Amino acid sequence: MRKLILTALLVLSPLAFIHLTFAAEFEEGVHYRVLSEQQPTQTGDKIEVRELFWYHCPHCYNLEKPLIEWQKTMPENAEFVAMPAVLGDSWEFHARVFYTFEALGITDEFHGKLFDAIHKKPRPLNRVFEVEPVAKWVEENGGPSASDFISAFNSFAVDTQARSAAVMTRKYEISGVPSMVVGGKYVTTVSMAGNYDTFFKVIEHLINLSAQP
């Protein structure tokens, strides 16, 4: 009997070691943190992976391309959601711009373009916090008319979404961007992870944690 128990332990130990190594690879309080109160998600049966960003943030701009590449291979049980963070008055302006894109159905076309217009030379929209220049830029780049853009920007629906983003930014307990909230419960950042590769591995680890009963 003793020999059988020893044999079983020898067989199981490598598996246990692998499991413990994976579990210890990312630590709460180091690579991610847990919200004081879990927040609702909007992705149904899929694990929500929500990015909080600001168009004027250079770190968000630098993350954009790696993030797009990661989404091509992200776990099938997860769904990505972008949300503009609102940590100040100027942040609310760009939240309204994002939700105007959403209202007009032009997010896929103009989300990345706006990042470039702010950060990439000649940076035509750098330090622009008024709707008229943005509306004109959208029209000049093949989007809806400036008047349609301004109308959507000032709409009740966009105002409501921007206000909601401000509330949720506080509930997600973030102080900077880009931040990623997984399953409405876990928060991680590139600085916590150390680099992009580890950042996406941490996100996938948090997706696995969120999927556990």
Mean pLDDT of the chain: 92
Burial grade of 97 (CB within 10 A; 0-12, 13-18, 19 or more)? buried
Residue 133 near residue 125, CB atoms below 8 Å = yes
Q: What is the largest CA-CA distance in the chain?
A: 83
Residue 55 lies in a domain: yes
Detail the DSSP E strand segments found in 75-151.
Answer: 78-84
Query: What is 2-29 written as a DSSP string?
Result: HHHHHHHHHHHHHHHHHHHHHHHHS-BT
- Domain boundaries, position 126: 29-211
Q: Return d(Cα 28, Cα 210) in angstroms, integer.
A: 14
Residue 71 lies in a domain: yes
* Residue 75 pLDDT greater than 50, yes or no: yes
The count of domains in the chain is 1
Residue 82 lies in a domain: yes
Detail the DSSP E strand segments found in 75-141.
Answer: 78-84
At 110-140, the pLDDT tens digits run: 999 999 999 999 999 999 999 999 999 999 9
Residue 9 lies in a domain: no
Question: pTM to 2 decimals?
Answer: 0.88
At 21-68, the pLDDT tens digits run: 445 589 999 999 999 999 999 999 999 999 999 999 999 999 999 999
Residue 22 lies in a domain: no
Distance linking the first and last C-alpha atoms of the chain? 36
Residue 6 lies in a domain: no
The domain that contains 39 carries what CATH number? 3.40.30.10
Residue 11 lies in a domain: no
Residue 18 lies in a domain: no
